[in-house]
Amino acid sequence: MKLKLSDFLANDDMELHYKDNQPCSNIDGAETYFVKNGDAIPEIFVSQYIRNNPKFIKNLEIKNGIPILSVEQQKKYNISFPKLNIESFKENIDKEYNKYTEEKLAQKVNKLGKEKFKVWAEKEFGEDNIDRRKSTSKIIINILRMQGDAE
């Protein structure tokens, strides 16, 4: 039986096995197909290699660890990869943990006044963490230390 070849090329010499027009391991009754480096890979093996071993496909473009396929190729090989909204790790950390910066806290002191700022900080961060007897600059440093920004 003649296997239909894909437009993907082998990155190395491969020995592929199939039975009943399906990829399989080297079992009794399986037929062997040899692919040389740079030759086209049969279509029945492409989806398996894209999912599990994309490094064996020479002309497969990969971006951020995800193979890039055209819409036609996704339909043909029944493969799709979700579009990921990738944000940098630092941006995620900043959004979640570094809610307050020294500049934002200083602006808050100017807006509220020293005494109201101390009351706000005590409510926001708890009486155990904020001592209203300290100066506003010491309170700001304490808040930044709790976030891991100050040394």
How do residues 8-19 score in pLDDT, each as one tens digit? 999 999 998 888
Note down the domain range covering 10.
Answer: 5-77
Q: Write down the pLDDT at residue 151.
A: 47
Helix 136-147 with 102-112: angle, nearest 10 deg: 140
Are 113 and 59 in the same domain?
no
Asked if pLDDT for residue 129 goes beyond 60, the answer is yes
Are 17 and 44 in the same domain?
yes
Are 13 and 41 in the same domain?
yes
> pLDDT for 98-128, tens place per residue?
578 888 899 999 999 999 999 999 988 888 8
Are 51 and 113 in the same domain?
no
Are 107 and 130 in the same domain?
yes
Are 33 and 61 in the same domain?
yes
Number of domain units in the chain: 2
Give the C-alpha separation, 56 to 53, whole Å: 6
Asked if pLDDT for residue 139 goes beyond 60, the answer is yes
Q: Write down the pLDDT at residue 64.
A: 77
Q: Apex CA 20: angle with CA 18 and CA 26, to 5°?
A: 30
Mean pLDDT of the chain: 83
Pair of tokens at residue 88: 């940098």
Answer whether 77's CB lies under 8 Å from 47's CB: yes
> pLDDT for 41-100, tens place per residue?
999 998 888 888 888 898 888 887 788 888 888 888 888 877 666 555 555 555 555 578
Are 45 and 15 in the same domain?
yes
In a domain, 63, yes or no: yes
Q: Which helix (H) or strand (E) holds 45?
A: helix 43-52
Are 11 and 32 in the same domain?
yes
Pair of tokens at residue 100: 């307050």
